[in-house]
Amino acid sequence: MSTATIRVPDRLLLGSGPSPVPQRILDALALPTIGHLDPAFSALMDDVAAGLRKAFRTENRVALPVSGTGSAGMESMVANLVRPGDRVICGVHGLFGERMADELRRHGAAVVRVEAEWGRAIPTEALLEAASAPFAAMFVVHAETSTGVAQPLDGLADACRTHDALLLVDCVTSLTGHPLDLDASGVDAAFSGTQKCLNAPPGLAPMTLGERALPRVRDGEVPSWYFDLSLVLGYWLKEADAPRAYHHTAPINLVYALAEALAIVHEEGLEARWARHARAHDALKDALAVLGLERLAPEGEQLSSLLAVRLPDGVEDAQVRVPLLTEDGIEISGGLGPLAGRIWRIGVMGEGARVEPQERLVRALAARLGGDETGAVDALHAGWSA
Amino acid sequence: MSTATIRVPDRLLLGSGPSPVPQRILDALALPTIGHLDPAFSALMDDVAAGLRKAFRTENRVALPVSGTGSAGMESMVANLVRPGDRVICGVHGLFGERMADELRRHGAAVVRVEAEWGRAIPTEALLEAASAPFAAMFVVHAETSTGVAQPLDGLADACRTHDALLLVDCVTSLTGHPLDLDASGVDAAFSGTQKCLNAPPGLAPMTLGERALPRVRDGEVPSWYFDLSLVLGYWLKEADAPRAYHHTAPINLVYALAEALAIVHEEGLEARWARHARAHDALKDALAVLGLERLAPEGEQLSSLLAVRLPDGVEDAQVRVPLLTEDGIEISGGLGPLAGRIWRIGVMGEGARVEPQERLVRALAARLGGDETGAVDALHAGWSA
């Protein structure tokens, strides 16, 4: 029985994140706080680094949770690896590409935007064409959370290596929910978030840097004390028997939650988890199609972990989404930017990528839209049985 | 019974932070995660802002937890309020003044250092002398966590106003544990941390900005997307019926913990809490003096919430501090910088400022130092009864 005096409502989180946090992770979160220099915490940090490497599919020495939400990972990556005047190719096909272009501009980069319509992947050829002139880094959003589109990474690393440039990737919404193999794709640095397919609370940004990226870390000259990796790594990157050097106080309990989340991921196995997310995505897509909700992303460009669907004509976003939250207790997300009021974004993340929560959503949406509830639920189950 | 598979040891946290987190706050932390745009979370944000205003003793509209540990508050303050070329007076009398000087340099400020020996307060006259020429901001560390010294704020605001400069304050370790009245002291912006006298887990930096500071926020030109207050305030600063605009996903569960922590603070009352911390500090100081551990800060310059004591001759820091942690389960902190190996820093923070945990520490230290346990414990109790 909770002794807390604050109260929060019951919600089924099927929006763009945060995702449903299992009790096991909430229990880990609530373990007693210990010190950030305690040897017991140091051992846990090693476990988290190992679990992150495995989740990212990388042998990189540097794998750590940045002490902030997903965007703090973006900021840390840019502040440390991009110098004023650097020519940086930035794929923009949704809000998070736009956000990165803004971040790059703030850090003085000469940003070369390579765009695609929101809801489509960027053609690889367009990125390679921009890479024909010298550049310092290429950034792409692997998992565009604003549209539910997955960006292929094939062929980008070779183009980057030709110009001794870094390949930088946002995988906030794909990590452990959509196939991703950083080393096979030649990614030099990537960041993610804990509140998507990892099912941990928000507040940490898992990040990894490879050996090509490390020499670029702007030792002492990063325009940020908090995110300066030359300092942060003295704490996080355990070298032989050197003690960990205090930088800032790590968010101890969030690290507990991340450790537990990674344990759950690796108990299931990464490939089994990817396959489950793909199946959950397809099943829900089929069910929602029965209700007249068609997926935004074309087949082959979809992101398993986020299903964005177009609103049917005559359906007003808030008139469904608000009571779905406040009366049915189910959160889904609206569209952003040019897609505001035109799409819903439904998370298919970790424990949200299960038939039970999906059936609850399908039934509630069918009732609110006046659609074929039985047909939709049958399609959902058929998808899961396929 | 916890379902988590990770394990952490039992520790009594009497170091420089994190401080002991009561079960009530751990229970709040573990409440189910809800969405950052959920109306229920929005209501909780209002409560947190109100609780922070009361804790800071300010009427400022802007009071929010920055999404990062204490130093993220420092970074947010500097990135938003300091422009390249600004002449900024920076008090340096410990590690956290040094850190701020580094942060200011990274943001292009012309830093005017006003120094004092580590372990002493900076004479107000020295700060006022530096303020005789025009300047843009003055920064002081109200609570120097590296030395246990409290910096008087009297007279600084008038000097700042003469030059239309801002008074900026680090109160990471003083908030709710040492007398602090931001509005009475004319402070324009301040930041703190949750893992000190608030007894919440680390990961948030309470911050407040007054009306003189707000126009300085570098709208869109902050060299940081994550900390850009012109964007963050669209989410945190509730204006009439305007909806909260998504910026980044707030660390939901840490905000729960902060809300519960603030509730506990205001149940006790701020002045009663300050008085309890002062009494706990004095009692522990007297007890440790019996063991030959003399306070670093002179009388009148001490910070209630952190007691730094000099190691007696012949006592080797790690030979006591390490087994105190790993065998006795009690964490205290060593010295930093020039005081490494020469002092211990003992937290007197929130639930750590009680006679029971202090007695446990005094007995353990007496045993390890071979000191007069009974005399020390008697002095502790006498201090509490005074």
| Per-residue tokens: B153 | 């704020």
* Neighboring chain B residues of A74 at a CB cutoff of 8 Å: 225-226
Query: Average pLDDT in the A3-15 region?
Result: 97
CA triplet B205, B209, B210: central angle to 5 degrees? 155
For A53-94, the pLDDT digits (tens) are 999 999 999 999 999 999 999 999 999 999 999 999 999 999
The sign of the dihedral angle between the CA atoms of B10, B16, B20, B24 is: negative
Q: Evaluate whether B109 touches B117 at the Cβ level (below 8 Å).
A: no
Distances (CA, A) of B229 to A57, B103, B193, B221: 35, 17, 18, 10
* Neighboring chain A residues of B68 at a CB cutoff of 8 Å: 67-68, 72, 226
CA–CA separation, A168 and A190 (whole Å):
6
pTM above 0.90, yes or no: yes
pLDDT at position A156 is 98
Nearest to A253 among B68, B201, B260 (CB): B201
* Neighboring chain A residues of B35 at a CB cutoff of 8 Å: 11, 13, 15, 18, 325, 331
* Neighboring chain A residues of B25 at a CB cutoff of 8 Å: 4
Residues facing B347 on adjacent strands? B306
CA triplet B108, B109, B114: central angle to 5 degrees? 145
The fourth-level CATH superfamily of domain A269-385 is Aspartate Aminotransferase, domain 1 (3.90.1150.10)
Query: A12 vs chain B: nearest CA distance in angstroms?
Result: 8
Query: Average pLDDT in the A361-370 region?
Result: 98
Residue A200 is given by DSSP the state P
For B201-239, the pLDDT digits (tens) are 999 999 999 999 999 998 778 999 999 999 999 999 877
Mark the ranges of chain B whose per-residue pLDDT is less than 50.
Answer: none
| Per-residue tokens: B343 | 């002092």
CATH of domain A23-267: 3.40.640.10
Backbone phi, psi, residue A224, to 5°: -165, 125
CA–CA separation, A330 and A359 (whole Å):
12
Mean pLDDT, rounded, of chain A: 97
Query: B247 vs chain A: nearest CA distance in angstroms?
Result: 9
Query: B138 vs chain A: nearest CA distance in angstroms?
Result: 19
pLDDT at position A35 is 97
pLDDT at position B120 is 98
For residue A194, is pLDDT > 80? yes
Which of A260, A143, A155 has the alpha carbon at shortest distance from A191? A143
For A103-127, the pLDDT digits (tens) are 999 999 999 999 999 999 999 999 9
C-beta neighbour count of A120 within 10 angstroms: 18
For chain A, give every residue range classified as CATH 3.90.1150.10.
269-385
CA–CA separation, A215 and B318 (whole Å):
34
CATH of domain B22-267: 3.40.640.10
CA–CA separation, B265 and B126 (whole Å):
35
Q: Evaluate whether A61 touches A237 at the Cβ level (below 8 Å).
A: yes
For chain A, give every residue range classified as CATH 3.40.640.10.
23-267
Residues facing A66 on adjacent strands? A205
| Per-residue tokens: B50 | 């109100």
CA–CA separation, A62 and A190 (whole Å):
11
Asked if B30 lies within 8 A of A26 by C-beta distance, the reply is yes
Q: Strand B189-191 vs strand B205-209: parallel, antiparallel, or unpaired?
A: antiparallel
Asked if B69 lies within 8 A of A67 by C-beta distance, the reply is yes
Task: Give the mutation candidate from B219, B249, B317 for the A interface (greatest A CB count, under 10 A).
Answer: B249
Look at chain B and count its residues: 386
A–B CB contacts, 8 A cutoff, strictly below:
257
For residue A229, is pLDDT > 70? yes
Q: Evaluate whether B101 touches B140 at the Cβ level (below 8 Å).
A: no
pLDDT at position B243 is 80
For B20-46, the pLDDT digits (tens) are 999 999 999 999 999 999 999 999 999
* Neighboring chain B residues of A79 at a CB cutoff of 8 Å: 224
For residue A242, is pLDDT > 90? no
Band the pLDDT of A240: cuts 50, 70, 90.
low
Which of A75, A73, A256, A105 has the alpha carbon at shortest distance from A173? A73
* End-to-end C-alpha distance for chain A, whole angstroms: 41
pLDDT at position A143 is 98
CA–CA separation, B17 and B347 (whole Å):
7
Backbone phi, psi, residue A47, to 5°: -60, -40
Percent of chain A past pLDDT 70, that is, above it, reads: 99
Which of A288, A312, A313, A314 has the alpha carbon at shortest distance from A302? A288
Backbone phi, psi, residue A275, to 5°: -65, -40
Peptide bond into A18 cis (omega under 30): yes
Residue B136 is given by DSSP the state S
Residue with tokens 């639920």: A377
* Neighboring chain B residues of A27 at a CB cutoff of 8 Å: 2-4, 30
